[in-house]
Structure 1
């Protein structure tokens, strides 16, 4: 409500091209929508990191879509959370319906949806954990019993992933997450969907899944808004438009 009142006084500008009037102008929204698939697809890193769960993604993590995620996370554009939650929702629903164990949990104990934890450094810089409201918004679209819980915590400092290759990312994150002690009973035997914003090498999802399994989780699946093109299991489709001039597209989003 406060955000909507502020918009009456200080109208929002497009997060990518900075034209006044909306968080995303029609042109930039269309450019981002071109990065979304007609239906969610499975991200298949090459090579896949050991232990990475099957992960469904809504789109390709490049061009305008990546720029929107960057603006939301790193440029303070929290007014994009509803848009990004809407784009995450198809992948989360696909993961929830992917296996019998997940479908049974929706009717019984309930699915546990787990955002990947931000690093302490990122949390201090941003002042919040921007992934969590996206996951909560997307989870509301999943029919059945769903609980969103920040059960994972970073256990040590890690290097900036953007400077590392696939092998170094996996090594950097190995053993870097754990389930909070007070949540171990919640995780035990649960069907979990671990969620990130974008998937590049899969190292973050693999480490999160490892921590959940070590705490006794049953089935672990994954979901994300997008994955880099080489990581998506598909052989056709139009490329995303490149980001518009001034969109601030960065290559260091996601892990």
Structure 2
């Protein structure tokens, strides 16, 4: 049947189907490594080693935020495969990298209660199109990794969008900040769920820092100033020199 005979489908209709199909193929079909393309499973030993050995460090754009690795090469491809192509099994190793960035950003703080990981929320339209919320999934994986180390960690989606925002891709730094300013707020009952805790903001990626800055503003306005922020990767020059893989 010619392609023109099929009725067009909305992104929200395609997203869940594509997500389910990708998950099924992920299980049934031997995959090439999403990081380097070798025919050794969805994450080869070399790329897994890269995730586990990169040294977390502060970001130049936001010194109070720490990233596990630079956003390039295999790390970039792994994040894109998880976010855009439904490679859900990558959430585990990417979440472990995020957990290391959380530890680096937060530092040892014994006796301060549960560790609350607050993901920067994706726009609702993006979640519908992808069929899943990648940042929340990574936050939950990071919380599990931290609990395996004996920490009382939990991922709580405290934040939500209050208005539509433009796609950040391609926007310069100043426009990214203007696009997001005032776009986030704490969910109803969020204060009750996080009373007495200092949240740690988490995201998959930091570029200009606009998303993390807006999330921190929203939490602070609600009386919940974040104690730190952590991401899997930092783009461009956002990692200070000397904090690359090693």
Same fold judged by TM-score > 0.5? Answer: yes
Query: Over aligned residue pairs, what C-alpha RMSD do you find?
Result: 2.8
Displacement over 3 Å in runs of 4+: 3-9, 16-21, 235-239
Tell me the CA shift for residue 6 of structure 1. 7.0
> In structure 2, do the counterparts of structure 1 residues 18 and 198 end up closer, same or farther at CA, with 3 Å as the change threshold?
same
TM-score (norm 2): 0.79
Tell me the CA shift for residue 185 of structure 1. 2.4
Corresponding residue for residue 217 of structure 1 = 224
> In structure 2, do the counterparts of structure 1 residues 205 and 5 end up closer, same or farther at CA, with 3 Å as the change threshold?
closer
2:105 maps to which of 95, 108, 111: 95
TM-score (norm 1): 0.77
- 3-state SS, counterpart of residue 59 of structure 1: strand
1:197 maps to which of 201, 204, 216: 204
Corresponding residue for residue 160 of structure 2 = 153
Give structure 2 stretches of 5+ with no counterpart.
1-21
1:113-132 alignment, distance < 5 Å: 113-132=117-136
**1:24 is the counterpart of 2:24:** no
CA contact (8 A) 2:70 2:235 kept: yes
Corresponding residue for residue 240 of structure 2 = 233
Tell me the CA shift for residue 186 of structure 1. 2.7
1:133 maps to which of 131, 137, 156: 137
> In structure 2, do the counterparts of structure 1 residues 8 and 160 end up closer, same or farther at CA, with 3 Å as the change threshold?
closer
User: Residue deviations 1:130-184, cap 9 Å, x none?
Assistant: 1222212212333432221001101111111012000000000001111001212
Q: How far, CA to CA, are the matches of 2:245 and 2:26 in structure 1? A: 35
- 3-state SS, counterpart of residue 223 of structure 1: strand
Corresponding residue for residue 111 of structure 1 = 115
Corresponding residue for residue 57 of structure 2 = 41
Give structure 1 stretches of 5+ with no counterpart.
240-255
Aligned residues: 222
CA contact (8 A) 1:135 1:148 kept: yes
